[in-house]
């Protein structure tokens, strides 16, 4: 243990000394055979440019056969039969073999000995996918170009309710396909909404924008109109070179989601279940039997029919006459206010009686207030005593 510690201390000293020497003497870089100038280090060369494939780059061809196949719906069968010669001719230029199987309902593409471009088989696979998703053949053939890419967005599994899916698809398309056209102009992509998928063709940047807009619309996160506004603002901000290295979030609008009150669905009351069927409504013959019309002769039936017709005609004539005479009926004159006058008289009499009663009560109260308590106290009468004495003396 003691020997190991001594060795570690010596190693640390040696490392420390080496670092000090490295700091004192800068390391000189010797130019070797790998430090030579490369032909692709020229600043005039655009490294992001996709060059067109040259068959001389792969003269030997493909070693293995690659095959891709895709099923197509039945309603596309007739169109594919008509346009298949155009597709076959376009793929033949790149050395790709194609087959249309109407029995299985599939399209197949595969490489041949004449195939030189190794990536063209992937492009051919995208071509048959687009054809199966109702993209027109002249438009789908453009995907064979190196600058054109494609993306098929599956929207069927994003929403469970089919009614909501159809509504949100209509939001994406817009009235007279105006929303879809605006998206195509802003993103530079071809967009087609068909069934449970959205097919898009364009550059990688445009396809990324299209996928975001479509998913936000179908998931009900943002309406496509708001997404179009944001894309338009981004397009304008990109024109300003001073904002190239800045964050654009402060310029972009922020849309808040509003919860709109939905109408309550009226639930129908469930009827009481009865195992017996409803009574059969009476037929025309049953009604005639009840009224006795069934047993009448033809002449009597015609006479009754004519009589009913005359009655209806008379009723209509009377209604028309009444409607015409309604314009000549004079308006009702306002009634004389005799009742109001008598009511006023009775009201005055009642007021007079109530006033008399109040004055009487008031007088009684005043007389009660003027009463003196001395009047009610018993005091001996002196005058009567004197009279009695005089009568005695006399």
Structure-token pair, residue 217: 């619309």
Closest CA to 70 of 132, 134, 119, 139: 132
- Domains along the sequence of the chain with CATH: 52-146 (3.30.1370.10), 147-254 (3.30.1370.10)
The residues near 290 (Cβ < 8 Å, ≥ 6 apart) are 282
98 phi, psi to nearest 5 deg: -135, 155
Are the C-beta atoms of residues 62 and 118 closer than 8 Å to each other? yes
Predicted confidence (pLDDT) per residue in 325-369, tens digit? 888 888 887 776 555 555 566 677 788 888 888 887 777 766 655
Q: What is the pLDDT of residue 71?
A: 95
Question: Comparing 337 with 263, which gets the higher pLDDT?
Answer: 263
* Average pLDDT over every residue of 164-184: 93
Helix, strand, coil tally for the chain in percent (to 5): 55, 10, 35
Q: Average pLDDT in the 366-381 region?
A: 55
Residue written as token pair 């155009």? 86
Tokens linked to 64:
């293995």
Rounded to an integer, the average pLDDT of 275-296 is: 88
78 pLDDT higher than 90? yes
For residue 8, pLDDT over 70 is answered with no
Q: Is residue 295 very low, low, confident or very high in pLDDT (cuts 50, 70, 90)? A: confident
**CB count, 10 Å around CB of 33?**
5
What confidence score (pLDDT) does residue 58 get?
87
* Residue 101 parent element (H or E): strand 96-101
Place of tokens 């396809």: 207
Name the residue among 142, 147, 105, 106 with its Cα closest to residue 126.
142
Instruction: For residue range 9-46, list pLDDT tens digits in order.
Output: 555 555 554 444 444 455 555 566 677 777 777 778 88
Among residues 60, 83, 63, the alpha carbon closest in space to that of 72 is found at 83
């Amino acid at each position: 243990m003691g020997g190991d510690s001594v060795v570690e201390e010596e190693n640390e000293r040696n490392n420390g000394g080496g670092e000090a020497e490295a700091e004192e003497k800068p390391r000189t870089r010797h130019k070797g055979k790998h430090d030579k100038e490369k032909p692709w280090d020229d600043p005039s060369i655009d490294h992001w440019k996709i060059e067109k494939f040259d068959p001389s780059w792969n003269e030997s061809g493909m070693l293995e056969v690659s095959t891709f196949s895709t099923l197509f719906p039945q309603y596309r069968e007739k169109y594919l039969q008509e346009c298949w010669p155009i597709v076959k001719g376009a793929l033949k230029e790149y050395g790709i073999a194609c087959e249309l199987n109407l029995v299985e309902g599939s399209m197949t593409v595969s490489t041949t000995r004449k195939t030189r471009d190794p990536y063209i088989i992937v492009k051919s696979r995208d071509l048959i996918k687009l054809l199966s998703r109702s993209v027109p053949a002249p438009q789908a053939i453009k995907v064979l170009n190196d600058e054109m890419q494609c993306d098929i967005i599956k929207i069927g599994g994003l929403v469970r309710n089919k009614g909501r899916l159809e509504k949100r698809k209509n939001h994406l398309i817009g009235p007279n396909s105006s929303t879809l056209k605006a998206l195509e102009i802003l993103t530079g992509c071809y967009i087609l909404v068909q069934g449970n998928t959205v097919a898009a063709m364009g550059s990688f940047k445009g396809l990324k924008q299209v996928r975001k807009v479509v998913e936000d619309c179908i998931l009900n996160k943002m309406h496509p109109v708001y997404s179009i506004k944001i894309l338009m603002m981004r397009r304008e901000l990109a024109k300003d070179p001073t904002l190239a290295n800045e964050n654009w979030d402060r310029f972009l609008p922020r849309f808040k989601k509003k919860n709109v009150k939905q109408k309550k669905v009226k639930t129908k009351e469930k009827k009481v279940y009865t195992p017996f069927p409803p009574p059969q409504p009476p037929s025309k013959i049953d009604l005639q039997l009840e009224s006795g019309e069934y047993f009448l002769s033809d002449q009597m039936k015609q006479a009754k029919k004519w009589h009913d017709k005359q009655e209806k005609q008379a009723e209509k004539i009377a209604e028309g006459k009444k409607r015409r005479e309604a314009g000549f009926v004079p308006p009702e004159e306002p009634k004389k206010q005799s009742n109001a006058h008598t009511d006023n008289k009775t009201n005055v009499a009642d007021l007079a009686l109530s006033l008399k009663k109040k004055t009487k009560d008031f007088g009684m109260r005043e007389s009660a207030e003027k009463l003196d308590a001395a009047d009610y106290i018993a005091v001996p009468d002196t005058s009567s005593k004197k009279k009695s004495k005089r009568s005695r003396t006399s």
